[in-house]
Structure 1
């Protein structure tokens, strides 16, 4: 009787193990049957499903990432796919992160750099252990100032290699250089949105002052103009100046009609094309809790 019980326990264990294997293998198959892009196996730190990189480029990147992982412990994985459709890049990257689990266990110091080439989308996923080093602001600068300009020129290897290098240097403790000066560009952009802000101030200032009174109308007009200036220029200082001027002239004269010579705002001059690169830097684990903050980076031709 004991022999039969031992055999039964052994058979149950084998059945459970087989069921677990089948369940794990069913994930990619289920994704494929649902029309979703399958997740490639995590066989290396550089996975290129588009043949964008040459064998030498891929091997060189792999060696650099391996050497960094052996020296630092943190893990950076790069994945290039043609498209994530029908999923968004955010949804697909979370599935990849859940399957790959880059970084050390209980340290959570993995980074996933995903590029969907045909979709013209890219995304960075950051583990909790690196959020203090690679936050949204620094990731934004890496993609806008380093990766996107090279992608715009068709230099995908240069963009990926330089972006990965900057991520590794940040993890090593090297800060980003100061952002480029844009004073000359801002002064040139000032004329671009002046008509828009002038119309907003005239219409909003007059209506709100009549509806709410002098002071409340001026306050609300200043907020509206300041918000519009910030959205168009991306410069907080310019938005503050626009808000103050809108408030002052609405309070004094019921709009900008009394301002000699008119009023000009400022404009960063960034118009999103049809196919910008969208990306976001977000937390990688816990994977079922999406703490991403999507941002966008223009990819103009």
Structure 2
């Protein structure tokens, strides 16, 4: 009888432990997702085309104004309130520029029918709590009530961008030049001058440093000058590489003398072709996967639909 009682008590203890584990898992905080774009939808509410369009709008605004905006759609924030979850996301994503703190985050908890606009320190004077609440109540929530989530987010972004545009903020820093920004027509017109100059400079450097090192030094020097003139690192690398080859080949031919004297009789082909270089002009070189280091202090407003 005693063994049976112990057995029953043991089973009850195990069941209670399992229930506690399930309860703890159910009450665990919702994870903050990785910021892979300015619009993150974990509910599949928005189509990929809509997300691309919204991302492009936000990115264009960011390039023009400097401020950063992000949108996050989650099924729920439970057991946290949307205010608690939203500030966690803001602190993790760091939307907005560092020390300017001009970031804004729109969080939508679809199953909870709640949303919040979280505002960085630097925008609290323009995107005030009252203004944020009006955008939610007058612009976003009415569209959400009809199921038009894309329209509500788009209209909300329009109003938020309009408000932030009226705030005097430091101009965005110019972005580094990429291959897609190179004016290839201009580059092709000035490249011969760089190459000819490299050959003359290469003669001196080859005599001082030797054939290979001299050609490399000439190519590097010309590449740096081209980078500064054109404003593109890719253009500098390309011109520097071409200059290196010309100095190396031209110097070898000049030092070899005419054929038949045991010297070098010249290359049978150029040794390289235009098709040998593969350049990537990725138009999406500007990354959306990360904030700028902005801080938030809990400013903004919440609402429901």
- State the TM-score, normalizing by the size of structure 2: 0.48
Report which of the two structures shows the higher radius of gyration computed on alpha carbons. Answer: 2
- State the TM-score, normalizing by the size of structure 1: 0.49
Q: Which has the higher contact order (CA 8 A, sep 6+)?
A: 2
